[in-house]
Chains A and B, each alone.
Chain A
């Protein structure tokens, strides 16, 4: 068992800012030297992120995500009209009966936005869940066993990362057929690359730690070390990075929908509502406005939560 190399990936220096007279003193900068081994570039985490608190905006974002998820799940139980039903006067302004008004055809916009959330959230969460499970297992095995396994996983990740993701997504979906399952799976496969890289990196880091060696000395089997000692340590950072990837998946699905390559009209998605609304912006601005706002707020909230957690759990490598 080789001695663990000194943990040289981070040096924390507390130095006064050198930029000028007014540069802040006491800036905490985590500085990462250029890593030669992995060839990865480590960007120093921003100073204000290193504080180990989550903060108000974090919980506000969590609440928004929770609200949207709950609304999307129980949409069928809510006292809102059928999102596809053309049964109201077109172009109604927001009111108590129609929270967001109605669109140019007389469909309830609130209902359409909520049902649209279903598509976005399904694709966003399930694709990344898929990528996280597969990428996580691959990363764990690669980081623990190294050698040939490592070579294969790193090679696979590099190939996935070598594609311009959205173009591949468009291509696969157009050849394979646009269905929720195909879109979710394709985004999931694309997300394996970056997620595996991060889990692998963290596994390597933890595999050299003392408690892992102690377990080995005690005669623990490899499977026990991987699942009982290492797994629990790489899960938080993996989940945090997964969470940052969810908005990327949501935006990608929105893009497909926008181009008409996802779930078809009249089934509402945020993307196809924006595409529908953009040609009638002056007469019915709400058609594009509400889904765009919900898309923005959801992506922003997920980014904020993911960013906070990433800093909190100190994920160092890669991003989707």
Chain B
């Protein structure tokens, strides 16, 4: 309980700074933000309206509090392109990005866990070396390069998957899966390599433990020891890395959504940037950053559930 409280106390300042920095982004624009936001529409009347709407005539701390209060109730301003509220744009694109993220992580875990266990069990044999080298190589290929290669191989050459576009899940389930398969795979490969590496390292350490020797002495089958005894204590770093990896994954979705024209949050943000629709960008950055902080917060809370040793270590400290 104290652990949770301490984590909560740390969460508050981090959220404060993160939201403040997101808020202050708009002041990085050269000149008055409103001139950049309105562009050719910057008539004196419009400027005054915009200045008032963004509370730019108030001191910065007041602006921040107002902006934060607004964002809690979903008022993040409007897109200057089509007057659509930023919150609507985000609400439509978040599920798409989540689908991509979840799908890619399912792929990654399904492939990385067996590979990692196998690599650790057969550490330093040929199969482990092949897997480790492949993982290392994969980590050196940026996801946009993977994406381009996949488009070339699977979409342009053999037409197995669509090169761009997104079918909504309620329209056609199979088509939906086909449309997110390539970007998810491009995203997943990096995670597979990373998770394999981390799980292998932890698993090798776990396999040296006395309780594993004990389990072997009892005559338990190897697969049972690997899956039931060794796997869970070896997932500690995996969860940490998984949480930290969410940041990289979100970065990856920005590029891959753009490459595959999948209308998620990344695609919309990049398009908003290219069309200088700043309030959409700011809203998206806010949602993504706060989401990332929260994911890592909940993962922190999950450690004690995962590994009782943490509970005791924290209690003893």
Contact = CB atoms under 8 A, between A and B. Distances in A.
Contact of A299 (B142, B254, B313): B142
A164 B289 contact: yes
B226 A170 contact: no
Contacts of A48: 124
Given A23-B207, A159-B17, A163-B247, A168 B28 contact: no
B208 A167 contact: no
A281 B148 contact: yes
A7 interface: no
B273 A19 contact: no
A255 interface: yes
B68 interface: no
Interface stretch (A10-18, A69-77, A129-137, A215-223): A10-18
Contacts of B200: 46
Interface stretch (A37-45, A81-89, A91-99, A107-115): A37-45
A282 B156 contact: yes
B54 interface: no
Contacts of B250: 164, 166-167
A60 interface: no
Interface string B301-317: 00000000110011011
Interface stretch (A24-32, A142-150, A205-213): A24-32
A288 B148 contact: yes
Interface residues of A, number: 65
B236 A166 contact: no
Main secondary structure of the interface of B (DSSP, over half): helix
Interface stretch (A172-180, A196-204, A234-242): A172-180
A304 B123 CA distance: 20
A25 B120 CA distance: 13
A228 B239 CA distance: 39
Contacts of B151: 278, 281
B278 interface: yes
Nearest to B15: A162
A59 to B, nearest CB: 17
Contacts of A127: none
Contacts of B141: 296, 299
A184 interface: no
Contacts, number: 191
A172 B25 CA distance: 7
Q: Tell which of B21, B122, B269, B285 has the most Cβ of chain A within 10 Å.
A: B285
A164 B198 contact: no
Contact of B288 (A13, A167, A176, A254): A167
Interface string B164-194: 0000000000000000000000000000000
Contact of A23 (B121, B132, B198): B121
A303 interface: yes
Nearest to B33: A175
A259 B144 CA distance: 10
Contact of B281 (A32, A174, A299): A174
25 contacts: A18-B208, A18-B209, A18-B212, A19-B121, A24-B123, A31-B208, A36-B317, A37-B317, A43-B198, A46-B200, A47-B124, A163-B247, A163-B292, A164-B247, A164-B248, A165-B251, A167-B288, A174-B278, A255-B251, A281-B156, A288-B148, A292-B145, A299-B141, A299-B142, A300-B137
Interface of B: 10, 13-14, 17-18, 21-22, 25-26, 28-30, 120-125, 132, 136-137, 139-142, 144-145, 148-149, 151-152, 156, 198, 200-202, 204-205, 207-209, 212-213, 216, 222, 226, 236-237, 240, 246-248, 250-252, 254-255, 258-259, 269-270, 273-274, 278, 281-282, 285, 288-289, 292-293, 296, 309-310, 313-314, 316-317
User: Nearest 6 A-B pairs (CB), nearest first?
Assistant: A166-B251, A164-B247, A300-B140, A174-B273, A175-B28, A36-B317
